[in-house]
Amino acid sequence: MKSITRQKPLEEVIQQVRSFDQIYILGCGTCATMTKTGGRDQVIKMKESLEGLDKTVTGWAVIPIACDEMTEVAMKENERPIRNAGCVLVMACALGVHRVSSYTRNPVIPALDTLFIGLEEKPGLFKEVCAQCGQCVIGETAGICPVTECNKGLLNGPCGGTNEGKCEVDKNKDCAWTLIYRKLKAQGRLNLMRKYQPPKNYQMVPRPKAARISIGEENRE
């Protein structure tokens, strides 16, 4: 999974940390490094920006995978400078922010907005491919998710707004259903497009989502 993030405008970060003179900064070595939003270079740049505002940066680190449990170990190693800070500014996706916040009593402030989970199509171009709806249909839509990629999330084929394979909303964007159609046709499975897809069950998209997944007896706590 790749969590796609965007840096918040610096003014918004400054606004959020305005009451703290001492700040500790955490970056993430995985997704936020890949998106160049919370890697080493961005963390150092943030440190310089904050110091330029007469803030004290008590320390910084780039945690290998901010969202996993090893974050606790990394934070223990940096316990003192974290404790000396008034807040922890986290340059990771929201999962990393939540992980970090569970290991410190300090206020935790995100420096990034978490946009979606997606894939890097071309260097620097990230595309959402899954809306995490809990009812995967891509087995019948040639591996292309209409819930995510169609502006209207349509399940039964294209809307009348598509033209020359492009989306009604954005002429530069491919119509998801035209892509599905072409791929199913090439696979000799166009009959799948004729199948009626019933309305989605939005009870399957609860907020907050939670799942108990069997991990085998030996791994049970």
Q: Which is nearer to other proteins, 129 or 190 (CB)?
A: 190
CA-CA distance, 129 to 147, in Å (whole number)? 9
Give least dist CB 179 to other proteins, A.
10
User: Minimum CB separation from other proteins for residue 27, in Å?
Assistant: 32
| Binding positions for other proteins, rule: CB under 8 A | 151-165, 168-169, 177-178, 181, 185, 190, 193-194, 196, 198-200, 202
Query: Which residue, 94 or 190, has its beta carbon nearer to other proteins?
Result: 190
Name the minimum Å distance from CB 5 to other proteins. 23
Q: Select 134 or 157, whichever has its Cβ closest to other proteins.
A: 157
How far apart are CB 71 and other proteins at their closest, in Å? Answer: 35
Minimal distance in Å, beta carbon 18 to other proteins?
28
Shortest Å, Cβ 137 to other proteins: 13
E-only strand ranges, the chain:
3-7, 22-28, 56-63, 87-91, 108-110, 112-122, 125-128
Measured from the CB atom, is 72 or 140 closer to other proteins?
140
For other proteins, give the closer residue by CB, 14 or 190.
190
Nearer to other proteins, 47 or 116 (CB): 116
